[in-house]
């Protein structure tokens, strides 16, 4: 199966607005060493359309004829073993042809074999030879690897990508094969934050990041509709209208690549990059390096001979969005506008006046559109307080540890106890079985048997011995669906000793939210107080949105505990009906002082009835009792017993884990 390459689609130059995405992609083509770009935003904002349109702008590269690894014809250090052997025999350059850089799509459901490469089955069966069949990492060498919905990429593929991205080499040791080849690529990922975040290890690998939203002005939105309808009516004519603009942009990119080595990096520019990184509280040193390299690419694009403070600050807007953290989170309230203002407040070191632009480069670059308008915004925030945590970081960390212990991650491996016919989860790789096989990996089994066919007696078919049999390893991707049912009645305001159970509980729940960003769990927040229960947050994987909801929980009024349990139960049942594979979980945070039933029943009996209903429907639950001492008169232990829930006292939990 050939990897999906992008043929001509909607023209890059025809996309209305979204200048930040365009600029970030262009900079990565100018300097592939920038580390790629992550594009985050809501659906329907042209993220994928722009990436696909980029394929028409990519420059030509020289590739060795007949090489599946896209080797350079005269760079010995970047050749595969086959080309290296030819190079030693024939000398440089090897026979080559020119073609454009490619954009290769990495499907979310890709298997490990397809990504890394595997045994050539045909050669093994007919010739008894163990020959390597290249995978996607060979196809994308010296190109662009595009992953749509990168935050949903299987964890095992993320680990493999991290290894190859760090080394620039794909090493394959499997099925009797030992092979390695260069794989250097620019990683481009798009994602919707509502569907969950990336693992920190992969997030930090992206050099640049752009947060995108829909266009809010009426006129541009009308133009978007008009262009889309025109494209669908006659794609060929529409592309012809923007062909010259795309070609001009492509020539400019080639010129910038050639000019890049001539751009000077000054000490003041490096000093300003370091100052911004320190002021914004980023971890490590990748941000500093990325800012300088991005600024250099910006200058090459404008054909400016030297980096200026404005270039560093503009580069910081691409480099920092995914690196500014608040106790491991990127708070939604810390908007792009505020970040730009914060960066603009950081004074550059003394520098001479900006050098003039080199004559003959009068074209208006993309980056001088919407982005430059935001450089001189009035200072409104203090950089030193921007990243201060909203919740007590110690309690948040305890909460993260607690939920890691009591909520096991939906992981990788065989689903023991599941019916053989279920075969739930995505097939990621194969293994030698340890007992009876219920999920045969036919492809891996054939590959294991193929090299031995010439030695086995066979009558036209493939002879498979027991030692050849392989079993599928599947990844269960659904994860947990969690409903937080939180008591926000008046009794949560004070514990009688000057403290607040709600403030402590918020820290603990903040830990769950922090965990949410690193897993595929979905979370909803239900509160109950006064005369009703209400849904404060629908199911989401967006940790920043969930953090805001937890921080903003109001308190006051009576305690309709039964109503909260009922609403949480109904939400989980609906999700279970939509996706039977999920693991439903209810986390109740309450002092157990039920004193109101919205149906006029006894409040405690109402709560116990719904607790039994939750247990009867096999919904796992955790009860966190906010009572501060054993003499309190709440019914947390009784309700927990009816739920068959794991029971924890909040004060003891904090004390034991602290």
For 48-93, how does the pLDDT look when each residue is reduced to its tens digit (9 = 90+)?
A: 888 888 888 888 888 888 888 888 888 887 888 888 888 888 877 8
Is 46 or 378 the better-scoring residue by pLDDT? 46
Q: Considering only 84-93, 474-483, 537-546, which range has the smallest mean pLDDT?
A: 474-483
pLDDT in tens, 597-628: 888 889 999 999 999 999 999 898 999 888 76
Average pLDDT over the chain, rounded to whole? Answer: 77
Express as a percent the part of the chain with pLDDT over 90.
15
Claim to verify: residue 484 and residue 632 sit in the same structural domain: yes
Angle among Cα 461, 467, 473 to the nearest 5 degrees reads: 100
What's the average model confidence in pLDDT over 186-204?
78
Q: What share of the chain is helix, strand, coil (3-state, %, to 5)?
A: 45, 15, 40
In a domain, 78, yes or no: no
Last residue of a domain, one of 417, 446, 475: 475
Domain containing residue 464:
426-475
CATH number of the domain within which 223 lies? 3.40.50.300
Q: Does residue 400 form part of some domain?
A: yes
Q: What are phi and psi of 287, to 5 degrees?
A: -65, -40
Q: What is the CATH number of the domain that holds 585?
A: 3.40.50.410
pLDDT at residue number 397? 61
Residue 251 and residue 271 share a domain: no
Same domain (yes/no): 505, 582: yes
Residue 524, domain member (yes or no): yes
pLDDT tens track for 398-409:
666 666 666 655
Question: 93 in a domain, yes or no?
Answer: no
**Count of the separate structural domains present in the chain:** 4
Question: Is residue 70 a part of any domain in this protein?
Answer: no
Based on the domain organization, do 147 and 293 belong to the same domain? Answer: no
Q: Same domain for 619 and 645?
A: yes
* Residue 288: pLDDT over 80: yes
- Kindly indicate the confidence band of residue 415, based on its pLDDT and cuts at 50, 70 and 90: very low
144-158 average pLDDT score: 81
- Using one digit for the tens of pLDDT, what is the confidence trace for 489-509? 887 775 444 457 777 777 777
Is 50 exceeded by the pLDDT of residue 29?
yes
Quick one: 456 and 347 in the same domain? no
Give residues with Cβ within 8 angstroms of 415, minimum separation 6.
422, 424, 425, 474, 476
In this structure, the answer to whether residues 482 and 471 fall within a common structural domain is no
Q: Which of residues 541 and 303 earns the better pLDDT score?
A: 303
Same domain flag for 287 and 322: yes
- Domain boundary at 230, 257, 284, which? 257
Query: Is 75 contained in some domain?
Result: no
Residue 412 reports pLDDT greater than 60: no
Catalytic positions, written as ranges: 286
What does the pLDDT look like over 460-469, one tens digit per residue?
667 788 888 8
Residue-level length of the chain: 658
- pLDDT range class, residue 567, cuts 50, 70, 90: very high
80 is a domain residue = no
Q: C-alpha distances in angstroms, 498 versus 224, 492, 621?
A: 57, 12, 30
Q: Is 225 found in the same domain as 133?
A: yes
Mean pLDDT of 575-594: 84
Residues 528 and 627 in one domain: yes
Q: Is residue 416 part of a domain?
A: no
Give mean pLDDT, residues 244-272: 90
Cβ atoms < 10 Å from Cβ of 474: 19
Single out the residue in 228, 257, 286 at which a domain terminates. Answer: 257
pTM of the model: 0.64
Same domain assignment for residues 368 and 451: no
Q: Return the pLDDT at 79.
A: 84
pLDDT class for 331, splitting at 50, 70, 90?
Answer: very low
Q: Are residues 527 and 583 in the same domain?
A: yes
Reply yes or no on whether the pLDDT at 413 is more than 60.
no
- pLDDT over 70 (residue 38): yes
Q: What is the mean pLDDT of residues 139-158?
A: 82
- Give CA–CA dist 8/177, Å, rounded: 37
């Amino acid at each position: 199966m050939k990897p999906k390459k992008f043929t001509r689609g909607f023209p890059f130059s025809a996309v209305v607005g979204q200048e930040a995405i365009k600029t970030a992609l262009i900079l990565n083509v100018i300097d592939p060493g920038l580390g790629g770009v992550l594009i985050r935003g809501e659906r329907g904002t042209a993220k994928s359309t722009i990436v696909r349109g980029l394929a028409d702008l990519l420059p030509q590269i020289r590739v060795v004829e007949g090489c599946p690894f896209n080797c350079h014809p005269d760079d010995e250090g970047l050749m595969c073993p086959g080309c290296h052997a030819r190079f030693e025999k024939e000398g440089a350059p090897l026979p080559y042809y020119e073609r454009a850089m490619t954009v290769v799509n990495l499907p979310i459901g890709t298997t490990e074999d397809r990504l890394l490469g595997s045994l050539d089955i045909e050669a093994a069966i007919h010739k008894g030879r163990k020959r390597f069949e290249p995978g996607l990492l060979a196809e994308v060498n010296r190109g662009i690897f595009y992953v749509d919905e990168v935050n949903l990429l299987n964890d095992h593929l993320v680990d493999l990508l991290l290894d190859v991205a760090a080394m620039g080499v794909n090493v394959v040791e499997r099925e009797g094969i030992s092979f390695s080849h260069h794989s250097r690529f620019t990683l481009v990922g798009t994602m919707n934050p509502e569907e969950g975040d990336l693992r920190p290890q992969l997030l930090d690998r992206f050099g640049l990041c752009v947060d995108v939203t829909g266009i809010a002005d009426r006129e541009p939105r009308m133009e978007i509709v008009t262009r889309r309808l025109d494209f669908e009516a006659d794609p060929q004519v529409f592309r012809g209208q923007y062909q010259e603009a795309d070609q001009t942009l492509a020539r400019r990119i080639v010129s910038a690549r050639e000019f890049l080595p001539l751009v000077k990096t000054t000490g003041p520019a490096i000093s300003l990059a370091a100052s911004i990184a320190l002021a914004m509280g980023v971890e490590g040193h990748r941000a500093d390096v990325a800012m300088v390299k991005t600024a250099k690419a910006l200058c090459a694009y404008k054909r400016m001979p030297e980096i200026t403070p404005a270039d560093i600050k503009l580069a910081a807007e691409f480099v920092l969005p995914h690196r500014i953290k608040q106790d491991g989170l990127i708070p939604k309230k810390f908007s792009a506008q505020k970040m730009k203002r914060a960066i603009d407040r950081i004074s550059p070191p003394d520098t001479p006046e900006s050098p003039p632009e080199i004559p003959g480069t009068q074209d208006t670059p993309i980056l001088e559109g919407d982005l430059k308008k935001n450089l001189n915004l009035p200072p409104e925030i203090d950089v030193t307080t921007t990243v201060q945590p909203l919740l007590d970081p110690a309690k948040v960390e305890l909460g993260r540890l607690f939920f890691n212990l009591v909520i096991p991650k939906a992981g990788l491996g065989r689903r023991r106890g599941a019916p053989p016919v279920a075969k739930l989860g995505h097939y990621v790789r194969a293994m030698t079985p340890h007992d009876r096989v219920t999920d045969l990996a036919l492809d891996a089994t054939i590959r294991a048997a193929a090299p031995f066919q010439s030695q086995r007696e066979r009558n036209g078919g493939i002879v498979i011995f027991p030692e050849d049999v392989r079993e599928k390893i599947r990844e269960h991707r659904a994860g947990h669906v969690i409903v937080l049912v939180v008591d926000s009645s008046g009794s949560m305001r004070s514990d009688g000793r000057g403290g607040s159970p709600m403030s402590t509980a918020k820290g603990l729940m903040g830990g769950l939210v922090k965990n949410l960003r690193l897993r595929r769990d979905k979370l909803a927040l239900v509160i109950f107080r006064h005369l009703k229960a209400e849904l404060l947050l629908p199911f989401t994987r967006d940790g920043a949105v969930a953090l805001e909801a937890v921080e903003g929980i109001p308190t006051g009024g009576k305690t309709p505990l039964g109503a909260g349990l009922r609403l949480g139960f109904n939400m989980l049942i609906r999700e279970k009906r939509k996706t039977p594979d999920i693991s439903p979980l209810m986390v109740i945070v309450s002092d157990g002082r039920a004193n109101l039933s919205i149906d006029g029943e006894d409040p405690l009996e109402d709560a116990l009835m719904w607790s039994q209903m939750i247990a009867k429907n096999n919904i796992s639950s955790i009860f966190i009792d906010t009572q501060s001492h054993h003499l309190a008169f709440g019914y947390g232990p009784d309700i927990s017993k009816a739920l068959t829930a794991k029971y924890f006292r909040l004060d003891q939990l904090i004390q034991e884990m602290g």
